[in-house]
Amino acid sequence: MTELEPAAFKSDEELEASIRPLVNEILDRFNEEAISPSQAGLIILALIYRLLEILEDAPEARRFFILTLINLINSYLSDTTEKQAEGAVTDKEEGA
């Protein structure tokens, strides 16, 4: 497996565009196999675990991956919290 060097891409958009076809192919396969969302989550967690094992000999790449994963989760949780707060404000305004 070759390492994915973050510096190899000029922007996040370029990186995203380069991996989008593979991601879409994987999601299509999940749909073909009728994989449930919870099963897909377990598959993804297993892949993350396996990747972390592979990256044991590449501490910088492993650190980059872990930090990227943490940032993704933090962004998702932040967005979810904001949406819930907006929904609570809207519900309160409608009830007033």
Per-residue pLDDT of the chain (96 residues; tens, 9 = 90+): 445 555 566 777 887 888 899 999 999 999 999 999 999 999 999 999 999 999 999 999 999 999 999 999 999 999 988 888 887 766 666 665
Q: What are the residue boundaries of the structural domains of the chain, listed by start?
A: 9-57, 58-96
Taking the model in full, what pTM does it have? 0.68
- The reported pLDDT for the residue numbered 83 is 85
Structure tokens at 59: 């501490």
Helix, strand, coil: what percent of the chain each, to 5?
A: 85, 0, 15
- The reported pLDDT for the residue numbered 2 is 47
Angle separating helix axes 37-54 and 59-95, nearest 10 degrees? 150
